[in-house]
Amino acid sequence: MEPQKEARTPPDLIVRPSGALRSQTLSEEERQEGGASLVASTLGAEADSASADGLWELPVEPAERRPECSRCSRPQKVCLCPFLPVHPLHISTHLYIIQHPAEENKVLRTVPLLAACLPQDKCKVKIGRRFSEERDVELSTVCRKSSTLILYPGAEATDLEEFILDSPVYPSTIIIIDGTWSQAKDIFYKNSLFRLPKQVKLVF
Ligand SMILES: [Zn+2]
């Protein structure tokens, strides 16, 4: 009787109750995972660009009130100017940076750093989401030049390095879109102007 009971008892303990326990535990884990990933998304860790977009609207950045360096536009305490070249770098290509309006207010702004390293006349920043031939005559002219490239990855994009090696003419202007992936995608596909220049990508 005793061994029989023992033999029957473990399945009772393991299969049925633990099955119920397991499903309970799983749903508990799922809840926890759900909660954890929500926290991760909220914190921006591994968040996709769509949820990251919303982050910049959160009122958590008192940076605007801190004194800023006039050259690199970073708060003076974390000014990066000592690490930047003393004199602007000589480049033959013009950079035309199309900046999503949300990028302008970010703490980690890279465009002012880039602009601080380049001659003023070689780096132009234009802020906005929509551009047209009528309103943006200068940009439109730049986009229509055969020596203008736009840096945007995709199946049709040529490796920039290969393009420069193969091309007899050095690009006069490279257009760069500054924003998250979803912001850049929106700007690239919703503005027909940006489909005019040859599309290039960086291959690492
Ligand atoms: Zn600085």
For 115-135, give the secondary structure using H, E and C: HHHCCHHHEEEEECCCCCCCC
Domain count, the chain: 1
Q: Is 126 a domain residue?
A: yes
Q: Is 192 a domain residue?
A: yes
* Ligand 1 center from residue 75 Cα (angstroms): 8
Q: Is 49 a domain residue?
A: no
Q: What range defines the domain where residue 126 resides?
A: 94-201
Q: Is 44 a domain residue?
A: no
* Ligand 1 center from residue 52 Cα (angstroms): 27
Q: Is 21 a domain residue?
A: no
Write out pLDDT tens, residues 53-98: 666 666 665 555 678 888 888 888 989 899 999 898 999 899 999 9
Distance CA 159, CA 199 (A): 9
Q: Is 59 a domain residue?
A: no
Q: Is 53 a domain residue?
A: no
Tell which wins on pLDDT, 30 or 78. 78
* Ligand 1 center from residue 169 Cα (angstroms): 35
* Ligand 1 center from residue 115 Cα (angstroms): 12
Residue 46, C-beta contacts closer than 8 angstroms, at least 6 positions apart? 40
Token code pair at residue 182: 């979803």
Please state whether the predicted TM-score (pTM) of the whole model is above 0.75.
no
pLDDT number for residue 134: 94
Q: How confident is the model at residue 103 (pLDDT cuts 50, 70, 90)?
A: confident
Write out pLDDT tens, residues 113-124: 888 899 989 999
* Ligand 1 center from residue 179 Cα (angstroms): 22
Average pLDDT (2-21) is: 43
* Ligand 1 center from residue 114 Cα (angstroms): 12
* Ligand 1 center from residue 57 Cα (angstroms): 25
* Ligand 1 center from residue 113 Cα (angstroms): 8
* Ligand 1 center from residue 98 Cα (angstroms): 22
Q: Is 188 a domain residue?
A: yes
pLDDT mean across residues, the chain? 77
* Ligand 1 center from residue 69 Cα (angstroms): 5
Which of 73, 145, 57 shows the shortest CA–CA distance to 109?
A: 73
* Ligand 1 center from residue 6 Cα (angstroms): 76
Residue 25, C-beta contacts closer than 8 angstroms, at least 6 positions apart? none
Q: What percent of the chain has pLDDT over 70?
A: 67
